[in-house]
Amino acid sequence: MAKILVVGSMNMDIVTQVERHPVPGETIQGNETRFFIGGKGANQAVAASRSGASVAMAGALGSDSFGIDIRRELAEARIDLDHVIEKPCMTGLALITIDGAGENNIILSSGANGRYGADEVDQLDLSGFDVILLQNEISSAANQRVLDKAAEQRIPVFMNPAPIDGFDQSQLSKVTFLILNEVEAEELSGIRIEGSSQALEAGKKLLNDGIPHLIITLGSKGSIYMDQAGRQITYPAFSVDVVDTTAAGDTFIGAFAAKYVTGAELPDCLRYATAASALAVSEPGAQSSIPADDQVQSFLTAGNNRTIRLL
């Protein structure tokens, strides 16, 4: 079976529901606070595993109760944790507020994620993996070492440059699939995105950096795939009631990668990933909202079909 390695972050998400997000200097009343396992790396690993892939996780957890909880949950999600190490510090935290429309604001405290560096990556054996997933919630030095090792062994890397603040754009030269949302595409391209035409323009500019494959997710407007061969595919979003958008992007990426490593056609990968992310936003929490493969398949066979546009 094709195997995915996710190198990235693992967090405890502390999520508070609010009617609206506060403005600077304002104190507001929260409605409910809950704890969820999260982190972009862990979310993508869970999404890929629940989509049927064989998945391993590499990264760092702290020596606290949150680290124990995260290990237990990821093991239950059938993720190989042999490459997860413990650091003598706090586990990474995400402080999240979600408003009445389901939109979120997130503050990250990196904890052990920030202490996972190039030296730890040097201990990784990448030879048994078919695809590697990266994000921007561990050190830039660790990501760069992964990219260098993957390039040497010709292992495709799917990179999601989130959070975009502080992302080292020079790392894109060794990325096989760049998967990002419209805010991240705006930041990297310098082009304001208000619809698919601007997204295509931004994508073309990013492809000039030599990235072989690019996907820009556009929320309720769907997604766009582009590559160096000039192929373009647009896929519309599914209409669902939005509860919490926290893990939508991570679900899309993990689900897409899981189908890609099986050899599925690109339009089918986009269709599946779009359905998975639609189901994720209709439930609260990060990993708790990520659907299993049978849920996605049922959703797709229940009349939820979309027309793919090949441009």
Antiparallel, parallel or unpaired: β 104-109 and 32-38 = unpaired
End-to-end, the C-alpha distance of the chain in Å comes to: 33
CA angle, 61 then 65 then 68, to 5°: 55
> Which tokens hold the place of 225?
């795939």
What DSSP state is assigned to residue 291? P
Where exactly are the structural domains of the chain? 3-310
Helical spans, DSSP H, in the chain? 40-50, 65-76, 118-121, 140-153, 182-189, 196-207, 248-260, 266-281, 293-301
In 10 A of CB 242, how many CB atoms?
Answer: 15
Q: What share of the chain is helix, strand, coil (3-state, %, to 5)?
A: 35, 25, 40
148 a catalytic residue: no
Give me the catalytic one of 250, 268, 293, 294.
250
Specify whether the CB–CB gap between 236 and 200 falls below 8 A.
no
> From CA 184, how far away is CA 190, in angstroms rounded?
10
Q: Regarding the domain delimited by 3-310, which CATH topology (the fold level of the hierarchy) does it fall under?
A: UDP-N-acetylmuramoyl-L-alanine:D-glutamate ligase (3.40.1190)
Q: List residues bridging with 97 in a β-sheet.
A: 16, 105
By three-state DSSP, how is residue 36 classified? strand
Instruction: Kindly give the confidence (pLDDT) of every residue in the chain, 311 residues in length, as a single tens digit, with 9 standing for 90 and above.
Output: 569 999 999 999 898 999 999 989 999 999 989 898 889 999 999 999 999 999 999 999 999 999 999 999 999 999 999 999 999 999 999 898 989 887 888 888 999 999 999 999 999 999 999 999 999 999 999 999 999 999 999 999 999 999 898 888 888 889 999 999 999 999 999 999 888 889 899 999 999 888 999 999 988 888 999 999 999 998 888 888 777 777 788 999 999 999 999 999 999 999 999 999 989 888 766 677 899 999 999 988 886 555 444 44
Whether this model's pTM surpasses 0.75: yes
